[in-house]
Amino acid sequence: MHSPFRLAVHRMAALVLALSSPLALCAGSEPPKPSATEPVTLYAGVTIIDGTGAPAVPDQDMLVRGERIVALGPHGSLAGSKEAGVRTIDLHGSYVIPGLIDSHVHLATPPDAKRARALLRRNLYAGVTAVRDMADDLRSIGELAREARASEIPSPDIYYAAVMAGPEFFADPRVAAASYGVTPGKSPWMQAIDKDTDLREAVTLARGTSATAIKVYADLPPDRVAAITAEAHRQHIMVWAHSAVFPTRPADVIDAGVDVISHACYLAYQLEPVMLKSYEDHTPFHDELLAKSGDDPVMAGLYRDMLKHGTILDATGSLFVRYDASRKAHPDRKPLRCTGPTTVRLVRQAWQAGVPISTGTDDDGGVKSAWPSVYDEMLFLAHDVGMPPLQVIRSATLVGAEAAGQAQDMGSIAPGKLANFAVLSADPLKDLGNLRSIRMTVKRGHAYPRADYRPVTKEEMGDDDE
């Protein structure tokens, strides 16, 4: 017999399906039409980099009504731009890119709303209009997401995952911190899965949290990964996963049909003769298993499978490169699963194979960072991997929107999409460092001038000394 709590969550899931599922809208549906009474703004004379990978288009006008873009065209050409009540913002000499998306953040492990709001503020005023939260206490994340959506706080929109993992994982102290008051593994947002789990019920409970996706985390065999993915997709919810769900190898994670895999580093474990039996075993990948030069053939096979399944790679490469460099100054620190050079090599081969790569960070930068971590990931793709700036911007915008299941509404500059964009004073295609020339962020039609930004403080960030 179901408990009253679980019955309540089942009912809630039925009510929130249309909101919680990125797949709930049919392919032919259109975004809601803006009301004729909403404020109208003309952004005039700007160079537009639309996020699709197409070349920049100079001297364009963009007409925004309410929270959506209604028209684009050469300067002075848009019908309705000279009507009474239209506010004009002259952007001659400026550049517009779509709002950036960090496809891997953690905002509430454990919950600290003051710190999270500070990080979200830093992101928004630097051009980040959406983030993908990859496993946290969803009681806190749900409220932050509501506040962000209602513009009660300056914040990107938040799309988040409910976790599923094997029972062994739930001894992790992070789980206890994100499940306070509930037995670890028994909350709808962090569920322990075994061979006896009713997956239909488990996915329904996860959907009841208004999550965008299930995150398949750790300590699950291949048949469980495949079964979770199949049931989640049957219930119209995305599946995000680690690229190796130890002991499940990357090839089996990809073949299960998950939508997005995180951490390029973990893909290398496909080469290990004996797969690690659990996530808790942090034995680093043995670099010498990769081909000595050129593309690795085993990795090439994984990337072909990713292309076949349409799998997005949330690479989180800058984290591994930065940590590897810091170990040279602090050799007592334990190594991560991959070295910096191996991570660069894996991501470069993925990009050259055509795998779509989003810009997830898995790192918030701490109190000393003046800019959001997504800038670091973009510079990693440009400087370490060798991706041209136009493609880096596409990764940080349109691919990120696809990873979050939101590409119908965001990720590129186009009529009908949300007015989510960043205005820069200098050309990011000449130098991605020009992201720091940001003049304003526009999210859902609301402008956040950079001049209004209040930097994060140590008091907000707590005991963070980084």
| Topology adopted by domain 31-98+412-449 | Urease, subunit C; domain 1 (2.30.40)
In the block, tokens 């194979």 appear at 353
Confidence at residue 82, expressed as pLDDT on a 0 to 100 scale: 87
**Cβ–Cβ < 8 Å for 453, 120:** no
pLDDT tens for the 466 residues of the chain, in order: 344 444 444 444 444 443 343 333 333 445 555 566 899 999 999 999 999 999 999 999 999 999 999 999 999 999 988 899 999 999 999 999 999 999 999 999 999 999 999 999 999 999 999 999 999 999 999 999 999 999 999 999 999 999 999 999 999 998 899 999 999 999 999 999 999 999 999 999 999 999 999 999 999 999 999 999 999 999 999 999 999 999 999 999 999 999 999 999 999 999 999 999 999 999 999 999 999 999 999 999 999 999 999 999 999 999 999 999 889 889 899 999 999 999 999 999 999 999 999 999 999 999 989 999 999 999 999 999 999 999 999 999 999 999 999 999 999 999 999 999 999 999 999 999 999 999 999 999 999 999 999 999 999 998 665 4
**Class at the top of the CATH hierarchy for domain 100-410:** alpha beta
**Cβ–Cβ < 8 Å for 359, 396:** yes
b/e map of 362-387 (b: 16 or more CB within 10 Å)? bbbbebebebbbbbbbbebbbebbeb
Nearest partner of 337 among 398, 276, 400, judged by Cα? 276
**Cα separations (Å) of 245 from 58, 213, 258, 266?**
46, 16, 12, 9
b/e map of 404-438 (b: 16 or more CB within 10 Å)? bbbbbbbbbbeeebbbbbbbbeeebbeebebbbbb
Long-range contacts of 21-29 (CB under 8 A, 24+ apart): 21/207, 21/212, 21/235, 21/236, 21/237, 22/159, 22/212, 22/213, 22/237, 22/238, 22/404, 22/405, 22/406, 23/233, 23/236, 23/237, 23/238, 23/405, 24/236, 25/408, 29/408
Confidence at residue 463, expressed as pLDDT on a 0 to 100 scale: 65
Structure tokens at 296: 């690795």
- In terms of phi and psi (left: phi > 0; alpha: psi -120 to 50; beta: otherwise), the region of 23 is alpha
- 458 φ, ψ (degrees, to nearest 5): -65, -35
- 393 φ, ψ (degrees, to nearest 5): -60, -40
Confidence at residue 33, expressed as pLDDT on a 0 to 100 scale: 58
Sequence length of the chain is 466
> Torsion over CA of 301, 303, 305 and 308, rounded to 10 degrees?
-140
| Amino acid type, 61 | D
Nearest partner of 213 among 239, 188, 245, judged by Cα? 239
pTM above 0.75, yes or no: yes
In the block, tokens 């930004």 appear at 453
**3-state SS string for 339-387:** CHHHHHHHHHHHHHCCCCEECCCCCCCCCCCCCCHHHHHHHHHHHHHCC
| Amino acid type, 272 | E
How far apart, in whole angstroms, are the C-alpha atoms of residue 439 and residue 28?
36
* Triad 420, 425, 431: Cα angle to 5°: 95
| Amino acid type, 319 | L
Rg (the chain; Cα; Å): 22
Question: Of all helices (H) and strands (E), which one includes residue 257?
Answer: none
- 209 DSSP β-pair partners: none
Q: Where are the domains of the chain?
A: 31-98+412-449, 100-410
Nearest partner of 87 among 35, 39, 47, 45, judged by Cα? 39
**Cα separations (Å) of 110 from 76, 115, 130, 175?**
51, 11, 21, 9
b/e map of 147-165 (b: 16 or more CB within 10 Å)? bbeeeeebbbbbbbbbbbb
Cis geometry, peptide bond prior to residue 247 (ω within 30 degrees of 0): yes
**Cβ–Cβ < 8 Å for 148, 175:** no
